[in-house]
Amino acid sequence: MFILFASLLTLLGLFFLLQPLLQTMTQSSQSKRDQLNQAIYHSKVDELSADLDKGLLDEEEYELALQDLQQTLVTDITGEQYQPAQTKRMSGIAIFIAVSVPLSAFGLYQNLSTFETESETQERLIATQTQSMEAAMQSLRQSLQDNPQDLDGWKMLGQSYTTLEQYEQAKDVYLTALQHFNNSDPDLLVLAAEASAFANEELFTDYELNLLARALSIKPQHERALWYAGYASFLNQKYADSVTHWTKLLRLVPDSRPEVKTSLSQFLNDARDRAGMETLIVADRVESNQREITVNVALDDSLHTQISANETLFIYAKAATGPPMPLSLVRLSAGDLPVTVRLTKELAMIPDMNLDSFPQVVVLARISKSGQAISQAGDLISAQQLVDFERAAQAEITLLINQVYN
């Protein structure tokens, strides 16, 4: 539409410029004037046709412009008569104006116009956003000099550098912030490790691992630290360490985030497989009415010296009131601890005796010295936990193996 209006304005301007000159021509030059008008007319028609073909004009706009051309350039112009020599000179001036004005207008448009392509617009917007962010970051840096105890401000500044993919600067911000907080903030430690790894093509060296270890020593259940510690161990082919970290992280994921649990379980199973461990049984999705118990099992620190990694670990559910036969059972090794499993009716020892058979069950974990299913003296066990399926079809519990069976 802009091109249409610009073309019409240019033609209108030419009309008023050429009219006085054309009026000075003699009657003998009328045919030349007509030829000039016709030439201009056909040239403009060609231009409009080209714009139509390129999609710059639609049919309605094209017809409107064509009508304006016909009214403007075909109209016969009369005026006073002059001598033929003067008529020739005036005709030359008119032709010069008719050609030079549109060309000059186009040249000015190219140099002064704000029109830009889609890619140029995108680049300009990105540049503007970057400039705005850098200005805000400069203001934030000044504020932090005046108030270095602004923990959130340091985090925001570092994350801004990360957004701009300036990882070295982000790392420096976090390390500077740590000096103001006695190297004791776990979030800053993890963020510094993350930025340092990103600056090093996502490689986690001992430096980054030490930052993560320090964060976990301050806050053992720091989810981001557990994820990166497991990821770093996996990249460095320390798969058993990866299993340890990701198993702890899996226990922290709420049931309201099944997609996160499923994704993390896939990573965890990959690490377990590479470490030579048995794959966890984790359902991708559970029907709302399907009974299932998520069981997180850990070993009390005081009992670590009393087990060997190859001893048998049983995790099972049995009827709260009824036969002692396990209704759902998972068999692992003590070396798998800590571990998370899901008990379902598919894990029943007898198909007709499963989690659907009783309204209430008790769940427990036991490390068997002999590998036998029947409890024996010296086995290590957890306390039993009751699960009431009449209240909910799914449940999540945590068991701590902290007793010796007598």
Q: Mean pLDDT over residues 171-182, rounded?
A: 89
pLDDT band at 152 (very low <50, low <70, confident <90, very high): confident
* 19 pLDDT above the threshold of 80: no
Q: Mean pLDDT over residues 40-47, rounded?
A: 65
CATH architecture of 292-404: Sandwich (2.60)
Look at residue 69 in the predicted model and tell me its pLDDT.
61
Topology of domain 150-274 in CATH is: 1.25.40
Task: Encode pLDDT of 70-93 as tens digits.
Answer: 665 545 444 444 344 444 444 544
Look at residue 107 in the predicted model and tell me its pLDDT.
53
Write out the two tokens for 257: 């985030």
* 362 pLDDT above the threshold of 50: yes
Look at residue 84 in the predicted model and tell me its pLDDT.
41
Look at residue 86 in the predicted model and tell me its pLDDT.
44
CA–CA–CA angle 48, 52, 57 (5° rounding): 95
Neighbours of 263 (CB within 10 A): 13
Q: Mean pLDDT over residues 222-242, rounded?
A: 90
Residues 6+ apart with CB under 8 A from 95: 36
Q: Is the dihedral angle over the CA atoms 127, 133, 139, 145 positive or is it negative?
A: negative
Look at residue 17 in the predicted model and tell me its pLDDT.
46
143 versus 59: the higher-pLDDT residue is 143
Instruction: Give the start-to-end residue ranges of the domains of the chain.
Output: 2-103, 150-274, 292-404
* 215 pLDDT above the threshold of 60: yes
Which range (60-69, 90-99, 222-231, 397-406) has the least confidence?
A: 90-99
* 1 pLDDT above the threshold of 60: no
Any idea which residue has 């692992």 for tokens? Answer: 332
* 36 pLDDT above the threshold of 80: no
Which of 3, 64, 89, 76 is closest to 33 using CA atoms? 76
Task: Encode pLDDT of 259-306 as tens digits.
Answer: 677 778 888 888 888 888 887 755 444 445 788 999 999 999 899 888
Look at residue 99 in the predicted model and tell me its pLDDT.
47
Q: Mean pLDDT over residues 33-47, rounded?
A: 60
Look at residue 6 in the predicted model and tell me its pLDDT.
47
Look at residue 323 in the predicted model and tell me its pLDDT.
74
Q: Mean pLDDT over residues 27-56, rounded?
A: 59
Look at residue 121 in the predicted model and tell me its pLDDT.
55
Write out the two tokens for 196: 């340092």
Q: Mean pLDDT over residues 197-201, rounded?
A: 83
pTM flag (> 0.85): no
- Across the chain, mean pLDDT equals 75
pLDDT band at 387 (very low <50, low <70, confident <90, very high): very high
CB 284 within 8 A of CB 262: yes
* 213 pLDDT above the threshold of 50: yes
Which range (80-89, 99-108, 224-233) has the least confidence?
A: 80-89
Look at residue 346 in the predicted model and tell me its pLDDT.
81
* 55 pLDDT above the threshold of 50: yes
pLDDT above 70 as % of the chain: 65
